[in-house]
Structure 1
């Protein structure tokens, strides 16, 4: 970790990541496979794609302590739970509703970062966050709570939002001392193990799926995972977890538009207006969010979630 300055404008990789993760909900909707199987193979293919880059940092494994390995396992567990909850929500509710609730992630991340890292955010940044969240709520306002099934989907999306916030906060802590490639590979491998155990316990078939489903598994690995989650993990070296979470607010805009074009999910005027407000709030937040300096380690944190120093969070 010798560099603490990004050599390209931060908005470029952020926009690439937002576009990539916006396709995630579309791919999930297109597949008929159980979400736990989609999540598992999504990460299995990602591991194969990452392997050549990860091997370059193989020597770094010797410096990882047992405590850090446990945190990596914990981060992977929360990532698996995120995919399980959020991808499950897409089977019960609309893309707009699911991604809207997922966009509330900055609320949990900022709260966790404050208690875990004593990380403060400027008032203008908070205003930007509130504006963006207001726009996000407008996008999905007409869809949320339409039926019991929609409510169940909403609850799953909220649970997915909470656990991904924890995942990201752990990442912010570990990436201070662990190369991004090692971090992502270890976390994804941990998540695959969790998924495999889950599928085995519930007797969910892990083979016998159509060529279409296998193609979607691969697309999930390449587009939203590599160009989305892996990219955001790398960016955590240069910006705060709250900044990454705020950038992800762009996902509801992209996902809702894609759902309109590819899934024939209709959009209301409030959803169009909300999308514009999300982008405005996102820009204002990013403009007023400080760059995280790597030479200033976070304050020790205590959290009931991690039974020790805390963890932070798609």
Structure 2
């Protein structure tokens, strides 16, 4: 934890930068016309390429990994790949606002799974927060269904993507007890990208032949939301409270919706605005009253 105001201010600034960075993810995906599985694959492979210069430094840690740890790393990578596949597909069917706000249900899914598997304590305010967030999700779904059946499918894909990343996060939390952030992230990114490569190979999706603009989008996704977003949050966990870092999920849909309005011309409907506020408030209550680590 930071011990002085200057350090705290630096970490808070980096936290804001991270929220802005991850908010660009949905915009970059919309800018690409490539298959979502290709976008996700190259996003992760290019992130690994950028991290490559530091790999040698951690070689001894990789050599000490046990078979069980590799099994959990593979499971975490597959779940991350599934998350990207489902969530990016949702952006082709529904709006940025609906897709990103539904993703904020991730910590709710994590707690529900923790309760079922480990009997983690859930207090009354957390249950109220879960209820409010779920009501908001139902309202978004009903509003989008009134507009388009495809939009509702997109909402469902985003929710399944949130469930997949929740499993990924639970596995990561367990693995990170005995593993550095670099080794965990590099391994999972590589395994997720390889899972997507196998998926593309089976489906016959081409690996090459994309325009320079597409490669630019792949690289932007690797640098901005991945390194300056997700990786930065993992690093900040060493200096900030976990609950505070978890609040980043509340900032992404707000900034992403504004960016979508500015850069994509998307407008918010009354359903999305009202339901989005309900979801964000419910998730805020849930995180605010959750157990502190």
TM above 0.5, yes or no, is yes
Q: Identify the residue that residue 18 of structure 1 maps to in structure 2.
A: 19
Q: TM-score, normalised by structure 1?
A: 0.79
Aligned counterparts of 1:26 and 1:49: Cα–Cα separation in 2: 22
Where does 1:158-173 land on structure 2 (aligned, <5 Å)?
158-173=159-174
**Residues 1:67 and 2:63 are matched in the alignment:** no
Q: Are the equivalent residues in 2 in contact too, given 1:129–1:282 (CA < 8 A)?
A: yes
**Higher deviation after alignment, 283-292 or 218-227:** 283-292
Aligned counterparts of 2:56 and 2:137: Cα–Cα separation in 1: 40
Aligned counterparts of 1:162 and 1:243: Cα–Cα separation in 2: 21
Q: Identify the residue that residue 312 of structure 1 maps to in structure 2.
A: none
Aligned counterparts of 1:258 and 1:145: Cα–Cα separation in 2: 25
Q: Are the equivalent residues in 2 in contact too, given 1:22–1:252 (CA < 8 A)?
A: yes
Q: Identify the residue that residue 101 of structure 1 maps to in structure 2.
A: 102
Secondary structure of the corresponding residue to residue 249 of structure 1: helix
Q: Identify the residue that residue 48 of structure 2 maps to in structure 1.
A: 47
* Structure 1 residue 222: Cα displacement: 0.8
Q: Identify the residue that residue 180 of structure 1 maps to in structure 2.
A: 181
* Structure 1 residue 142: Cα displacement: 3.9
* Structure 1 residue 56: Cα displacement: 2.8
How many residues align? The count is 287
**Residues 1:224 and 2:225 are matched in the alignment:** yes
Aligned counterparts of 2:281 and 2:147: Cα–Cα separation in 1: 28
Aligned counterparts of 1:85 and 1:274: Cα–Cα separation in 2: 21
* Structure 1 residue 195: Cα displacement: 1.1
Q: Are the equivalent residues in 2 in contact too, given 1:247–1:282 (CA < 8 A)?
A: no
Q: Are the equivalent residues in 2 in contact too, given 1:101–1:161 (CA < 8 A)?
A: yes
Q: 1:6 to 1:281 in 2, by over 3 A?
A: farther
Instruction: Please list the CA deviations of residues 68-113 of structure 1 after superposition, one character each: whole Å capped at 9, or x if unmatched.
Output: 0110011001100111111011111111221232222222111112
Q: Are the equivalent residues in 2 in contact too, given 1:43–1:189 (CA < 8 A)?
A: yes
Q: Which runs of 5+ in 2 are unaligned?
A: none
Q: Identify the residue that residue 267 of structure 1 maps to in structure 2.
A: 268
Instruction: Please list the CA deviations of residues 171-192 of structure 1 after superposition, one character each: whole Å capped at 9, or x if unmatched.
Output: 0100011001100000000011
Q: 1:73 to 1:149 in 2, by over 3 A?
A: same
* Structure 1 residue 209: Cα displacement: 0.7
Q: Are the equivalent residues in 1 in contact too, given 2:250–2:284 (CA < 8 A)?
A: no
Q: 1:203 to 1:151 in 2, by over 3 A?
A: same
Alignment RMSD, CA only? 2.9
* Structure 1 residue 248: Cα displacement: 1.2
Q: Identify the residue that residue 308 of structure 1 maps to in structure 2.
A: none
Aligned counterparts of 2:145 and 2:85: Cα–Cα separation in 1: 20
